[in-house]
């Protein structure tokens, strides 16, 4: 939903909930700025009817009655739109508290804290430990990329975006126009899945490779958003998570923890190097390139050639 429309619906809902008597369309038009800017009466009437229907679909009970002047008026009685008391058991309360604290490092920390305060005011127990028996743990979702917040808003509002993106094999970034679908964190990195308009295909982008500002564009999506967006599965296939073969690499001592975590065997070679055997699948060459001079591929030969080709492409750029 566009931000302008969401704000207009919120203002209409507040007017209907805050009045003690039915308000006519004329009164509502003069009370909400967006309606004053609607232009002709026909434009306003169409906008108002759509907004009224949208609020009803969202669950707001709006009554239509005649006011003292004989005009048709509208109001939303508070007793008809009051939510039932919030009742949470200990496990549900702990889950909500944990979810709110997960975002304390992100730009969403303020919103999460505010939501938690409102839940406590509505009855969330103060003494519930969201960490349970693991109180020493501090769950966090790290968000260091400046692109996260504008992309999150673009995913929510279904707005196309433009940004500069540097592939692992490229020395310079290229402009990309994307219809963003979903953001997901995998192995400590954030990824965006969406429709790449320039390439006419679904793509997944790592946020740490987005340079400069993310700029939103007007207009609607041109491609259908899938019911299920498989961000993790796509990235996992790039990293060889769906591998059915093995590769041998040399890895500098103290480097490449993600590679060590997935290794099936590790052998010290001395002189600051270790030999690892790791699963080998589609996209492993692109992942190995990210570790630069800390990795040397021993076999298979095809993987070694792919890594060398990627490194040469970067050097030429």
75 close to 16: Cβ distance less than 8 angstroms: yes
CA distance 165 to 211: 6
* Mean pLDDT within 219-245: 72
CA distance 128 to 88: 11
Q: Is the model's pLDDT at 215 over the cut of 90? A: yes
Structure tokens at 164: 């500069």
* Mean pLDDT within 21-26: 87
Structure tokens at 100: 């709110």
303 close to 285: Cβ distance less than 8 angstroms: yes
Structure tokens at 163: 């940004």
pLDDT category, 311, cuts 50, 70, 90?
A: confident
Place of tokens 């402009």: 175
Enclosing H/E stretch for 238: helix 231-238
* Mean pLDDT within 239-267: 83
Which residues are registered as beta bridge partners of 162? 177, 215
* Mean pLDDT within 219-239: 75
List for the chain the helix, strand, coil content (%; round to 5). 40, 25, 35
- Mean pLDDT across the chain, nearest whole number? 79
Place of tokens 């590769």: 247
pLDDT at 218: 86
Q: Is the model's pLDDT at 278 over the cut of 80? A: yes
pLDDT at 257: 84
Structure tokens at 248: 């041998």
pLDDT at 296: 94
Q: Is the model's pLDDT at 250 over the cut of 90? A: yes
Q: Is the model's pLDDT at 195 over the cut of 80? A: yes
pLDDT at 134: 43
pLDDT at 229: 76
Least confident window among 5-19, 62-76, 248-262: 62-76
Contacts of 48 (CB under 8 A, 6+ apart): 25, 28, 29, 35
Q: What percent of the chain has pLDDT over 90?
A: 17
Q: What percent of the chain has pLDDT over 70?
A: 72
Q: Is the model's pLDDT at 93 over the cut of 90? A: no
Q: Is the model's pLDDT at 135 over the cut of 50? A: no
Of 234 and 265, more confident: 265
Q: What is the pLDDT of residues 26-50, one digit of tens each?
A: 888 888 888 888 778 888 899 999 9
Burial 275-303 (b: 16+ CB within 10 A, else e): bbebbbbebbbbbbbebeebbbbeeeeeb
Domains and CATH numbers, the chain: 3-80 (1.10.10.10), 86-141 (no CATH), 148-234 (2.30.30), 239-316 (no CATH)
pLDDT category, 136, cuts 50, 70, 90?
A: very low
Least confident window among 13-22, 169-178, 215-224, 307-316: 307-316
Of 245 and 108, more confident: 245
Q: Which of 111, 89, 85 is nearest to 99 (CA)?
A: 111
Q: What is the pLDDT of residues 146-174, one digit of tens each?
A: 888 899 889 888 899 999 998 766 678 89
Count of C-beta atoms within a 10 Å radius of residue 35: 19
Of 307 and 144, more confident: 307
């Amino acid at each position: 939903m566009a931000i302008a429309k969401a704000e207009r619906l919120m203002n209409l809902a507040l007017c209907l909930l805050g009045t003690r008597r039915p308000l006519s369309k004329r009164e509502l038009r003069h009370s909400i700025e967006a309606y004053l800017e609607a232009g002709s009466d026909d434009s306003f009437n169409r906008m108002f009817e759509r907004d009224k229907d949208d609020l009803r679909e969202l669950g707001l009970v709006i009554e239509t009655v005649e006011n003292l002047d004989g005009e048709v008026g509208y109001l939303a009685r508070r007793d008809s739109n009051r939510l039932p008391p919030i009742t949470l058991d200990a496990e549900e309360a702990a889950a909500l508290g944990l979810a709110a604290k997960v975002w304390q490092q992100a730009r969403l920390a303020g919103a999460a804290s505010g939501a938690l305060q409102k839940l406590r005011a509505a009855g969330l127990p103060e003494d519930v430990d969201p960490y349970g028996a693991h109180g020493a743990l501090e769950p966090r979702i790290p968000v260091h990329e400046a692109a996260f917040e504008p992309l999150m808003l673009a995913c929510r509002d279904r707005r196309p975006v433009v940004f500069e993106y540097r592939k692992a094999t490229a020395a310079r970034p290229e402009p990309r126009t994307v219809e963003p679908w979903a953001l997901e964190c995998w192995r400590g990195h954030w990824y965006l899945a969406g429709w790449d308009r320039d390439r006419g295909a679904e793509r997944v982008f790592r946020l740490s490779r987005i340079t400069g500002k993310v700029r939103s564009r007007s207009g609607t999506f041109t491609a259908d958003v899938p019911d299920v967006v498989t961000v993790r599965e796509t990235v996992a296939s790039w990293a060889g998570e769906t591998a059915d073969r093995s590769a041998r690499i040399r890895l500098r001592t103290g480097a490449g923890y993600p590679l060590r975590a997935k290794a099936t065997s590790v052998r010290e070679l001395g002189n600051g190097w270790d030999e690892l055997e790791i699963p080998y699948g589609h996209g492993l060459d692109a992942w190995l390139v990210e570790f630069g001079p800390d990795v040397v591929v021993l076999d298979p030969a095809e993987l070694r050639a792919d890594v060398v080709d990627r490194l040469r492409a970067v050097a030429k750029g």
